[in-house]
Structure 1
Amino acid sequence: MTAVVVGNPKPASRTLAAATRLHEALIGTAPDVVVDVVDLGTGLLGWGDDAVASAVSAVAQSELVVVASPTFKASYSGLLKLFLDQFSAGEGLRNVVAVPLMLGAGPEHALCPELLLKPVLVELGATAPAPGLYLRDKTFTEDGAIEAYAARWGTAIRSSRARSLT
């Protein structure tokens, strides 16, 4: 099973489109699970919400997850942080291969996925075998960055996914 998790406060965002497109470029199919975190609403603000627990469980059971956020104040969104806080440290994403993805308006924050989002995913137990990907939010559909990333890192990501199954 594979998943896409998107922490954009706008439903059905460009971030969701980019994450789904990256997943398809890496795996060749649509994700089995899509968590548009904004749809979980106020259930993220506490513990024990059934919809949040179901989303967390689905992501934790995935072999591969693309985790995406827009860039806010040089970091990933607070909405995504609320979702990631639902996973236990070191174990919550154990045996999950994670691909960090962030979108932004310009190149100033190009290292954010690698320096800010990837360490959190690894802290939660995920394996992140490739660098995080940063995309320009206005040009990712035509600039070829997703395709270039998939060509460069797809084999390593797919191989890590296969190892996580054993």
Structure 2
Amino acid sequence: MKLVVVSAGLSVPSSTRLLGDRLAAAVVGRAPEGVAAEVEVVELRDLAVDIAHHLTTGFPGPALGAALSAVADADGLIVVTPVFSASYSGLFKSFFDVLDRDALAGKPVLVAATGGSARHSLVLEHAMRPLFAYLRAVVVPTAVYAASEDWGAEGLAERIGRAAGELLGLVLAVAPAVVPAGGSAGGSGGPGGPGVGPDTDTAAFIAPVGGAVRVGGFEVVPFEDQLAALRPE
């Protein structure tokens, strides 16, 4: 299972990167036994010049090309941006502007953001979720926003755990090859924090429903199956 974190944080250290790391750790901690989890972090701050050149020339440099390939090849994606002017940052948007338009089709994505005030939390719903819906990604139901006052406060760890469980469920549903033969989809909370929800584990959270998979209270149908259903006989 390859998980890629795209962080648009600009400072060092960055709360945006910290949130991405905590989300990735929560997903890895819930992975079923026998499933190898690989995490790669794409720091957009280091690619800002390459992204600008790509926008003007149409050609990515080696570092940006490797980042774009990593995102396209990922089984699941965690994307985190700071909030600027009530929306995602320009650097964050520019990276996805130069990504191949089909790279995220059917790919599970967890969206998250950081900001100085809880008043900006709706950026997840009015900006980020529509962006990735347009890119035809499968966005997990729970998005995670962390304001300055959320760090160390109650509630953030629970939201991280819930979102991580949903992303893992979607990854296992869309890319079933990551589940070992005879393996279990179960797992308890690991280093990423508490379990997916009260008195639940990943096995209870991910349940097969015919040709689809139920993730929490949602029935997930792989994108390819949705397309096949739309094709005329």
- TM-score normalised to the size of structure 2? 0.64
Match of 1:112 in 2: 123
Which amino acid in the other structure matches residue 148 of structure 1? E
Match of 2:64 in 1: 52
- Which whole-Å CA distance do the structure 2 matches of 1:39 and 1:147 have between them? 28
Q: Secondary structure at the match of 2:110?
A: strand
Match of 2:201 in 1: none
- Which whole-Å CA distance do the structure 1 matches of 2:162 and 2:154 have between them? 12
If you compute each CA radius of gyration, which structure gives the higher value, 1 or 2? 2
More displaced, 47-56 or 27-36?
Answer: 27-36
Match of 1:41 in 2: 48
- Which whole-Å CA distance do the structure 2 matches of 1:102 and 1:63 have between them? 21
Of residues 106, 110, 123 in structure 2, which corresponds to 1:99? Answer: 110
The answer to whether the aligner puts 1:14 opposite 2:15 as a matched pair is yes
More displaced, 7-16 or 145-154?
Answer: 145-154
Aligned-residue CA RMSD (Å): 2.0
User: Structure 1 pair 146/116, CA: closer, same or farther in 2 (3 Å)?
Assistant: same
- Which whole-Å CA distance do the structure 2 matches of 1:133 and 1:60 have between them? 23
CA contact (8 A) 2:113 2:124 kept: yes
Of residues 80, 94, 118 in structure 2, which corresponds to 1:68? Answer: 80
Which amino acid in the other structure matches residue 43 of structure 1? D
- Which whole-Å CA distance do the structure 1 matches of 2:122 and 2:28 have between them? 24
Which amino acid in the other structure matches residue 149 of structure 1? R
Which structure 2 residue ranges, 5 or more long, are not aligned?
Answer: 31-36, 177-233
Match of 1:26 in 2: 27
CA contact (8 A) 1:26 1:150 kept: no
- Which whole-Å CA distance do the structure 2 matches of 1:31 and 1:107 have between them? 32
CA contact (8 A) 1:25 1:146 kept: no
Percent identity over the alignment? 25
How many residue pairs end up in the alignment?
Answer: 164
CA contact (8 A) 1:11 1:39 kept: no
Q: Secondary structure at the match of 1:5?
A: strand
